Chain A
């Protein structure tokens, strides 16, 4: 109902649109000017200071060891986050389980991995093959089924990924738990009333809605992980971006330009991750965000045109 409805009896003419003078905000222009000046000063300070050695930055930006470092850093980030997310969902579900053993295991896991430094944990995974030469599967004090050499299983790359993932899972588990808690209880009740089983309810109803709450802090964690990968030196794993940068910087006695090279790459990757996060948020915001209605109007129009569903119904009259 609009307030511009023509008075009764008069023909419905197209109403005159409002073309008002918008409110002026001089403060915005002033602040913009200040920001531009400050940015120019910052750029000037970076470019004119030859200690940054920009030609050196340019020389190494796409160099082979740096590119390889970017690649390994990406592998470490993506692999450890992927494992961590799966583990975190499991931990969060265990934490909410009716089974007290599950709840306790999850609590202890989170307590331990959040409570000890990541550097120590990574170093431990590096030492694991020294601490336990062989890993075997069998009955305790009984027969063994098979045995592997720990050093083969936990090569530096795998040790680094596992170390990062297990630590991250503890933090993500709390994020996932917060997300699951944010979903209205009525949702799982409605699903239960329809006869859905608990696993299905979690997977189809609760988790997709929880993702709205889970994705933004997980994006945060991913970007944080990108930079935490520089700690894999503790394993030691020595091919990531930060190690490559430091190695070259030390060799040519010019640490500063190589730090700039690494910073540029971290920024580039972060930007790409943020784009991904934007699309993830949009996907999980469907049905919630009034600004992004995915009505599939073309599809609806086709359905209506086909008239497969528009049989005359005795109830049609009650539609407003």
Chain B
């Protein structure tokens, strides 16, 4: 199985964003939890402005891969570049130096993340949730942040829920607030980890609707989901993971409609 072509000759690359580099590039990423080898060499390229849907059985490492991209987890081997910039480390004198947490926070701010369990801040209203990071991280004024937050919440169809606390919102509404909250940082990349799997079936559509709209606006997205219909509609690339590695990748017509790997065929037989 030949993995995604990786840019192995990136030795000369220095820190900083490269507008010509792909949005995300994982090369031989490994992750261990103690003795548990969870990612066993993930190779993945996500071009700018594309939607990648990640499929795979439970425990195959999809969430871990996303969390590594956003540096919620440290990787054990390999490299992750976002917009051509090495994540988490600085290369100097042929050695890797761990970045200071403040630098890592700057890198994270370019990557938005939406969680399965929403993780809204329960002590803040919907608009408070969306305003928080622009004020605390980007140093925006309250008025500026509020205006933008109201705009984003309107965009996700929640203009009448600005002052509601998360506990007063339905699951679908909460997840849409979470999407608006991530978008408020003007990220270049959005990661979605099973954004609809904690929702009642009738609420899934509203969240997928927002995501579809976001994809159409040209946002680069990596989406872990079991919604095959969504994948068919918006995915430029489908990635199938098993046992901590990418087993098969390509357009929908290839990976979902004509999978060649037995593990992919097996998985799809269960999901479809």
B209 close to chain A: CB less than 8 A: yes
Q: Which residue of A is nearest B184, CB measured? A: A194
Q: Which residue of B is nearest A299, CB measured? A: B163
Bound CA–CA A319/B157 (angstroms): 6
Contact (Cβ within 8 A) B156 A315: yes
Please indicate the chain A residues that have their CB under 8 angstroms from the CB of B224 in the complex. none
Q: Which residue of A is nearest B120, CB measured? A: A190
A195 close to chain B: CB less than 8 A: yes
A50 close to chain B: CB less than 8 A: no
Please indicate the chain B residues that have their CB under 8 angstroms from the CB of A28 in the complex. none
A196 close to chain B: CB less than 8 A: yes
Contact (Cβ within 8 A) B162 A186: no
Please indicate the chain A residues that have their CB under 8 angstroms from the CB of B165 in the complex. 286-287, 293-294
With an 8 Å Cβ cutoff, the count of chain A residues facing the other chain is: 43
Q: Which residue of B is nearest A307, CB measured? A: B159
Contact (Cβ within 8 A) B123 A193: no
B253 close to chain A: CB less than 8 A: no
Query: A87-95, A107-115, A131-139, A200-208: which one contacts chain B?
Result: A200-208
- Which of A205, A294, A318 gathers the greatest number of chain B CB atoms within 10 Å? A318
Q: Size range of the interface on B?
A: 35 or more
Contact (Cβ within 8 A) A296 B163: yes
Contact (Cβ within 8 A) B108 A194: yes
The residue from A186, A198, A287 contacting B167, defined by CB atoms under 8 A apart? A287
Contact (Cβ within 8 A) A204 B136: yes
Would you give the 0/1 interface string for A100-133, flagging 1 where the beta carbon is closer than 8 Å to chain B? 0000000000000000000000000000000000
Q: A192-B108, A196-B137, A209-B122 are in contact. Are A315 and B157 (CB under 8 A)?
A: yes
* Number of interchain pairs (Cβ within 8 Å): 134
B117 close to chain A: CB less than 8 A: yes
A314 close to chain B: CB less than 8 A: yes
Query: B47-55, B146-154, B254-262: which one contacts chain A?
Result: B146-154
Please indicate the chain B residues that have their CB under 8 angstroms from the CB of A294 in the complex. 165
A215 to chain B, nearest CB (A): 13
A295 close to chain B: CB less than 8 A: yes
A59 close to chain B: CB less than 8 A: no
Which chain A residues in 287-311 approach chain B with CB under 8 Å?
287-288, 290, 293-296, 299-300, 303-304, 308-311
Which chain B residues in 226-257 approach chain A with CB under 8 Å?
none
B265 close to chain A: CB less than 8 A: no
The residue from B72, B153, B166, B210 contacting A318, defined by CB atoms under 8 A apart? B210
Contact (Cβ within 8 A) B102 A287: no
Which chain B residues in 100-115 approach chain A with CB under 8 Å?
101-102, 105-106, 108-113, 115
Please indicate the chain B residues that have their CB under 8 angstroms from the CB of A287 in the complex. 122-125, 165-167
Q: Which residue of B is nearest A208, CB measured? A: B123
Bound CA–CA A190/B116 (angstroms): 11
Contact (Cβ within 8 A) A200 B163: no
A211 to chain B, nearest CB (A): 9
* CB-CB nearest 8 A-B residue pairs: A195-B109, A190-B119, A287-B165, A194-B133, A318-B209, A193-B113, A186-B119, A315-B157
| Given A195-B110, A196-B132, A318-B206, 8 new contacts (CB under 8 A) | A190-B113, A190-B115, A191-B132, A192-B72, A193-B112, A193-B113, A194-B132, A286-B123
A-B contact pairs, 11 of them (CB 8 A): A189-B119, A192-B108, A200-B136, A205-B132, A209-B121, A296-B163, A304-B160, A310-B154, A310-B160, A318-B157, A320-B170
Q: Interface of A with B (CB < 8 Å)?
A: 184, 186-187, 189-198, 200, 204-205, 208-209, 284, 286-288, 290, 293-296, 299-300, 303-304, 308-311, 313-320
